[in-house]
Amino acid sequence: MSYVQGFVLAVPSANKQAYIDHAAKSVALFREFGMTRMVETWGDDVPAGKVNDFRTAVQARDDETVVFSWLEWPSAEAYKSGMQRMMEDPRMAEMGEMPFDGKRMIYAGFQPEMDDGPGGATGYVDGFLIPVAPANKDAYFAMARQISPKFQHYGATRIVEAWGDDVPAGQVTDFFRAVHATGDENVVFSWIEWPDKAVRDAGMEKIREGMDAPADIPFDGQRMIFAGFAPILDQ
Q: Which residues pair with 36 in a beta bridge?
A: none
**What residues contact residue 215 under an 8 Å CB cut-off, 6+ apart?**
none
Task: Please give the pLDDT value at position 220.
Answer: 96
**CA atoms lying within 13 Å on the CB side of residue 31:** 12
Task: Please give the pLDDT value at position 202.
Answer: 97
Q: What is the pTM of this model?
A: 0.96
**Res 212 pLDDT > 80:** no
For residues 190-206, average pLDDT: 97
Q: What counts of helices (H) and strands (E) characterise the chain?
A: 6, 8
Task: Please give the pLDDT value at position 95.
Answer: 79
96 band by pLDDT with thresholds 50, 70 and 90: confident
pLDDT tens column, 146-157: 999 999 999 999
**Res 215 pLDDT > 80:** no
Q: Which domains does the chain have, with CATH numbers?
A: 3-234 (3.30.70.100)
Q: Provide the terminal-to-terminal Cα distance of the chain, rounded to the nearest Å.
A: 14
